[in-house]
Amino acid sequence: MIQNKKGLSDIVTTALIILLVAVAVAAIWSFVAPALRGTGTQFTNTQVCVSNIIEPITCKTTGPADATNQAGKIPVTIQVRRTLTDGVAVPTEFETVSGTAPDQTKLYTNGYGTSSTLLSAAGSGPTMPRAQGELISIKFDSGTVGNSPQTRVTTTYRLPDNTVVKCPSLPISCNVA
């Protein structure tokens, strides 16, 4: 006796399996892709900060606090050195912070000089260290504040694709006489 069997052909079955696999891959990729994009950017930022270093080397008091300065603020001189450069990332400016929160003094240094305003084109004093090993001295009239004053430098770099990366240095302690 002949039975009438109906079912899916091999071609239709194979096409359905391929379609289900494609949907599954798309669903997994939608969860994984955002995490992979963020990791690449973070790696680039970290790589720039490790390959290019502008950091404070010394922080020394240059005189006692006087009547013109607020209580606890002491004039200091901070030496900043460019210790590493990869030749790709270009430093545009850096911010030197002296003191401990909430009382901090900031100076900004770029290619025009050092001033108390961000990216001033009419700055005076030292300019951005361009060569590896170059050392500059930045003077704060009333920079060091607090019982354990510190200083740190945050450098802004521009990459060839115009990406901006900010790299903070480790803080160093200032000697207070």
Quick: pLDDT tens for 67-76. Answer: 554 556 677 8
pLDDT in tens, 42-89: 567 888 888 888 889 988 877 665 555 455 667 788 899 988 888 888
Domain harbouring 68, CATH code: 2.60.40
Whether residue 155 lies inside any domain: the answer is yes
Q: Which residues, other chains included, contact 47 with Cβ-Cβ below 8 Å and sequence gap of 6+?
A: none
Report d(CA 118, CA 96) in Å as an integer. 11
Whether residue 164 lies inside any domain: the answer is yes
Q: What counts of helices (H) and strands (E) characterise the chain?
A: 1, 9
Contact 132, 85 (CB under 8 A): yes
Whether residue 44 lies inside any domain: the answer is no
Q: 74 has which bridge partners?
A: 144
- Helix, strand or coil, per DSSP, at residue 83: strand
> 49 — phi, psi (to 5°)?
-70, -30
Whether residue 106 lies inside any domain: the answer is yes
Whether residue 132 lies inside any domain: the answer is yes
Whether residue 103 lies inside any domain: the answer is yes
Whether residue 5 lies inside any domain: the answer is no
Report d(CA 151, CA 166) in Å as an integer. 17
Going residue by residue through the chain, which has 177 residues, state the pLDDT in tens, using 9 for 90 and above.
566 666 678 888 899 999 999 999 999 999 888 777 655 555 678 888 888 888 899 888 776 655 554 556 677 888 999 888 888 888 888 888 887 777 778 888 888 888 877 655 556 778 888 888 888 888 877 655 555 678 889 999 888 888 888 999 998 888 765
Q: Which residues, other chains included, contact 12 with Cβ-Cβ below 8 Å and sequence gap of 6+?
A: none
Whether residue 23 lies inside any domain: the answer is no
Provide the number of structural domains found in the chain. Answer: 1
Domain that holds residue 132: 52-173
